[in-house]
Structure 1
Amino acid sequence: MKLIGVRTPGTDDTRIAVTEGHGKATVLTTLQGFWADPARWLANEPADGQLLSTEDVRIVPPVLPEARVICIGLNYHAHAAEGSYKDQELPPHPTLFARWTQSLSVDGVPAPVPANEAGLDWEGEIAAYIGRPLVDADAETARKAVVGYSTFNDLTSRVAQKLTSQWILGKNGDNSGPLGPLVTADEVGDLREGLRVQTRVNGTTVQDGNTKDMIYDLGETLSLISRTFTLRPGDIICTGTPEGVGYARTPQWLLQPGDVVEVEVDKLGVLTTPIVGNDYRYGATR
């Protein structure tokens, strides 16, 4: 089952719908209603929900405004080797940073290059959605709490990211966190079994990795987080990117206005983001 957020033009009310393909979607319930009890809504195929044409609604992330979006940095061996840990021992715990939900977008929404950046960097990856509360959870319990996954692109403003040791500024540009539809966990399986993660820029493959190369297991990372704060339904963890990012190349290669970046993940589909100039930020309706 693939889920999207839909919003009728002129309203701020988001609903969760099942994509039927061919431009059709069936409404399940409200955004808040879904995340209050995801298991209930995923237990059966939709039968009586309103059938919509996706051309008549605005597609938005299926994400609660108050959700925590937690990202893992340097979570693939090859990516860590091309970056901060080329000649260093890997740390025992993952580097975690936060995104705000306001930075999230969906397939096809343009991402602007901020004024003080030479371009944006791509980071194709997988986002995982939490479906029930986790408090001091063990790794296996945490894995079972994941209700679904999306393709994700952690588009990064490298100048802002590297101003300090804290990454949040560079990771929260406008529309810099595009998400694909939420694909339910039963259709995806365990990331440890291996999913191919690819990123393309203008049709050229720039990343081609596999989740088997992850350093920090998703379940163990969720377990670690849950020992400090409660993870709640609707929270998201973004699992890191493979090698091949633009800043690590010689010469450096960054996304420019007019470029199109795609992230493709096995079982999750293709996520496409056009890159635009900074003037898009002024007057664009989000």
Structure 2
Amino acid sequence: MKLVNYYVSNFANSSRVGFILNGQVIDVQHAYQKWLQSQNEDASFAKVTHEMPADPNLFFSLGETVLEKAKLAYDYAKDAGITGLDREEVRLGVPIPEPRKIICVGKNYADHAAEMDSDVPEFPVLFSKFSNALIGPDDEIEKSSATEQLDYEVELAVVIGKEATKVSREEAADYILGFTIGNDISARDLQKRTQQWLQGKTLDRTTPIGPWVVTKDEVGEFSNLAIRSYVNGELRQQSNTGKMIFDVPYLLEFITNLITLQPGDIILTGTPDGVGFAMNPPQFLQDGDVVTLEIENIGKMENKVVER
């Protein structure tokens, strides 16, 4: 199931959770109400809004609790032939606009560490982003005048499905709700002027996430996914998530032995080689550039860079 945060202009521009079915966006709350009615259960507004929140932040904060109900709604919509809105009629936002935590992993592909003239780390390199940086798949990447070295990084993003503390790698998959695509846009000049990377990693409206969260059952083997990025149609990065130094189960074990993760938290798992900074000469993003990211079994996301 592909879960989206969508906007419709005649809906007071408020964002709502939907899912993709037959190329259309179906409102998950509406589909859940229809399922309740089909079961001759209470389908009152109060019950539906309590059990199936339309707000994306609240929806994902409930994790697997609400996901099971959403799957019932999805299966019913598929069987009943419920239709929704065409993709062109909606704008997709960040699937989770304000996650409690955005934890990022640096230098997690050996080839990328090498191209950045860095040693392979002994432990995962962790840093954070804040929600001010997040934008959706239909939004523009804002190039701030504070940087002249804006760079792209395609990354597999993990969405947590239930509270996770001291999780072992063997049980890590049980705590994952799904996956999405992240572009860890980095201002290299700001990132590298101090030992702490934060200032180069969380500029306003620079980090696309999307286009949807794909539930883990649909993604399948997440340790073997093709991952690519393009700039203006030119292939820049091409790798596989199997080349991570620290795979997803290890990352969940490592992080949750330090930090308790909550439903809706996001982990950006690192980028492979091929970034603009490492090219000869370096190729940084400019006004008007279009960055396209692809991850196997998840989809494609495309954002334009606009100087602001």
What TM-score, normalized by structure 2, do the two folds share?
A: 0.82
Partner of 1:14: 15
Partner of 2:200: 170
> Is the deviation greater in 95-104 or in 52-61?
52-61
After TM superposition, list the pairs within 5 Å mapping 1:56-205 onto structure 2: 56-63=89-96, 65-85=98-118, 88=119, 90-180=120-210, 181-192=212-223, 194-205=224-235
Residues 24-61 of structure 1: CA deviation (Å, up to 9, x unaligned): 33324422144312442354342368934555544211
Structure (1 or 2) with the larger CA radius of gyration: 2
> Is the deviation greater in 143-152 or in 38-47?
38-47
CA distance in 2, matches of 1:171, 1:221: 20
Residues 233-257 of structure 1: CA deviation (Å, up to 9, x unaligned): 0001011101000111110111111
CA distance in 2, matches of 1:148, 1:93: 25
Partner of 1:260: 290
Partner of 1:283: none
Does residue 237 in structure 1 map to residue 263 in structure 2?
no
Segments of structure 1 that go 5 or more residues without pairing to the other structure are: 279-286
**What SS does the aligned partner of 2:227 have?**
strand
Deviation at 1:155, TM superposition (A): 1.0
Which residue identity is paired with 2:17? I
Which residue identity is paired with 2:61? W
Partner of 1:41: 69
Segments of structure 2 that go 5 or more residues without pairing to the other structure are: 30-51
Deviation at 1:217, TM superposition (A): 1.4
Deviation at 1:259, TM superposition (A): 0.9
Aligned residues with identical type, % of pairs = 33
CA distance in 1, matches of 2:229, 2:60: 31
Is the 8 Å Cα contact of residues 165 and 260 (structure 2) preserved in structure 1? yes
CA distance in 1, matches of 2:203, 2:13: 22
> Of Structure 1 and Structure 2, which has the larger fraction of its residues in helix?
2
Is the 8 Å Cα contact of residues 91 and 138 (structure 2) preserved in structure 1? no
After TM superposition, list the pairs within 5 Å mapping 1:214-233 onto structure 2: 214-233=244-263
What TM-score, normalized by structure 1, do the two folds share?
A: 0.88
Q: CA RMSD in A?
A: 2.1
Deviation at 1:152, TM superposition (A): 1.4
**Number of equivalent positions:** 274
